[in-house]
Amino acid sequence: MLRRQTNAALNSRRWFSHRSSPRGSSYALTRTVAVATSLAAVAAATIGQKSIEGPIHNEIPLPSVPDAGASRTNDAGTATTKLRADDGDELRLLVWGSNRARIVSPDASDAAQIRTPAVASFLQDVALRDLAVHATHAACVDGRGDVYQWGDGFLGQHPASGNRKPALTLRGKNVVSVRVTESRVFALSASGRVYVISAEAAQQSLPSMRSSSSTSRWGTSWLWSDDVGIQYSEIVPAQKLAWGERIISIAAGRDHLLALTTFGRTFAHPITKNANSHGQLGFRKFDIPDPSLTSSSAVTRFHVELTPRAVVDPYARSSRYARESPSSASPVSENLVNVDDTNLKFSDKFFEVPALRGVNVVQIAAAARSSFVRTDTGRVLGWGANEYGQIGLGGNVTLDTITVPTEVVLWRGTPNGTRTHCIDLNAGGDLAFFTVERIDGTSIRNVEVLSCGNGQYGGLGNALFTNSQSVPVRTRAVSGLLEFSEKTNNLQPIAPHALSVSPDGHVLLALETHAQAGPGGGGRDLLAWGTNYDFQVGNGKRASIAVPTVLETADGDRIMLGKRLAKVVRDAQGRVWRRGVRGYGTSLVYWRIA
- HSE-CB for 561 with a 13 A CA cutoff: 35
pLDDT for 311: 85
CA angle (16 as vertex; 14, 17 as ends), nearest 5: 155
Q: What confidence score (pLDDT) does residue 11 get?
A: 37
H/E run at residue 252: strand 247-252
Contact 113, 105 (CB under 8 A): no
Residue 372 backbone phi and psi in degrees, to 5: -140, 150
The phi, psi pair for 201, rounded to 5°, reads -60, -35
Q: Are 400 and 318 in contact (CB under 8 A)?
A: no
Q: Give me the pLDDT at residue 516, please.
A: 67
Q: Specify whether the CB–CB gap between 72 and 117 falls below 8 A.
A: no
What pLDDT score does 215 carry?
42
- Nearest-Å Rg of the Cα atoms of the chain is 23
Q: Where are the beta strands (DSSP E) in 475-562?
A: 482-485, 490-493, 496-501, 506-511, 524-530, 545-550, 560-561
Residue 504 and residue 449: Cα distance in Å, rounded? Answer: 20
- pLDDT, residue 42, reads 32
User: In this structure, which amino acid lies at residue 451?
Assistant: S
By 3-state DSSP, what share of the chain in percent is helix, strand and coil, each rounded to 5?
Answer: 5, 40, 55
Cα-to-chain-centroid distance, residue 459: 16
pLDDT of res. 208: 52
Q: Where are the alpha helices (DSSP H) in 185-316?
A: 309-312
> Do the beta carbons of residue 274 and residue 290 sit within 8 Å?
no
pLDDT of residue 587: 30
Nearest to 508 by CA among 119, 83, 15, 79: 15
Distances (CA, A) of 122 to 139, 206, 464, 573, 574: 14, 30, 36, 11, 11
Q: Which H or E run contains 40?
A: helix 39-42
Alpha-carbon torsion, ordered 75, 77, 80, 82, to 10 deg? 70
Q: What is the DSSP string of 364-388?
A: EEE-SSEEEEEETTS-EEEEEE-TT
What is the C-alpha separation between 586 and 510, in angstroms, rounded?
Answer: 8
Pick from 30, 89, 17, 124: which is nearest to 570 by CA?
124
Q: How wide is the angle at C-alpha 554 spanned by C-alphas 115 and 114, nearest 5°?
A: 20
Give the per-residue pLDDT at 386.
96
Strand bridging mode 361-366 / 71-73: unpaired
Name which of 480, 483, 521, 475 is nearest 499 in CA terms: 475
User: Which of 231, 230, 232, 271 is closest to 250 using CA atoms?
Assistant: 271
- Cβ of 292: how many Cβ atoms within 10 Å? 10
Give the pLDDT confidence of 435-477 residue by residue, as tens digits. Answer: 999 998 887 889 999 999 999 999 999 999 999 999 999 999 9
Cβ neighbours of residue 263 closer than 8 Å, sequence gap 6 or more: 241, 242, 245
Cα separation, 231 vs 548, in Å, equals 43
pLDDT the model gives residue 275: 95
Cα separation, 43 vs 501, in Å, equals: 10
DSSP code per residue over 567-585 = EEEE-TTS-EEEEEEEEE-
Check if the beta carbon of residue 224 is closer than 8 Å to that of residue 203.
no
Kindly write down the DSSP assignment for every residue of 455-501, as one continuous string. ETTSTT-SS--EEEEEEEEEPTTSSS-EEEETTTTEEEE--EEEEEE
Best CA proximity match to 107, nearest among 128, 122, 95: 122
In this predicted structure, what is the pLDDT of residue 59?
A: 28
H/E stretch holding 96 reads strand 93-98
Looking at the domain 7-292+301-314+327-593, which fold is it? Methylamine Dehydrogenase; Chain H (2.130.10)
Continuous segment of H or E residues that includes residue 152 = helix 152-155
- Taking the alpha carbons at both ends of the chain, their separation in whole angstroms is 29
pLDDT tens for the chain, residues 1 to 594: 333 333 333 333 333 333 333 333 332 323 333 333 223 323 323 222 232 233 333 222 233 333 333 333 344 334 345 655 455 566 776 778 888 888 877 776 665 777 878 776 777 777 788 888 888 899 999 888 999 999 889 988 777 677 788 899 999 999 999 999 999 999 999 999 999 999 999 888 876 544 434 444 444 333 333 456 788 999 999 988 999 999 999 999 999 999 999 999 999 999 999 999 999 999 999 999 887 765 544 568 888 899 998 888 777 766 666 555 554 444 666 678 788 888 888 999 999 999 999 999 999 999 999 999 999 999 999 999 999 999 999 989 989 999 999 999 999 888 888 999 999 999 999 999 999 999 988 878 899 999 999 999 999 999 999 999 999 999 999 999 988 887 778 888 999 998 999 888 899 999 988 766 666 566 788 899 999 988 888 888 889 999 999 988 777 778 877 666 665 566 666 666 554 443 322 233 345 554
Instruction: Look at residue 592 in the predicted model and tell me its pLDDT.
Output: 58
Residues whose CB falls within 8 Å of the CB of residue 494, separated by 6 or more in sequence, listed in order:
2, 447, 481, 482, 483, 511, 512, 513
Q: Are strands 256-261 and 266-270 parallel, antiparallel or unpaired?
A: antiparallel
DSSP string, 258-323: EEEETTS-EEEEE-STTTTTTSTTS-SEEEEE-TT--TTS---EEEEEB--HHHH-TTTTS-SS--
Domain residue ranges of the chain, discontinuous segments joined by +? 7-292+301-314+327-593
Measure the CA–CA gap between 38 and 262, rounded to whole angstroms: 33
CA dist., res. 104 & res. 563, Å (int): 24
Residue 422 in 3-state DSSP? strand
The pLDDT, as a whole number, for residue 448 is: 96
Instruction: Return d(Cα 95, Cα 105) in angstroms, integer.
Output: 9
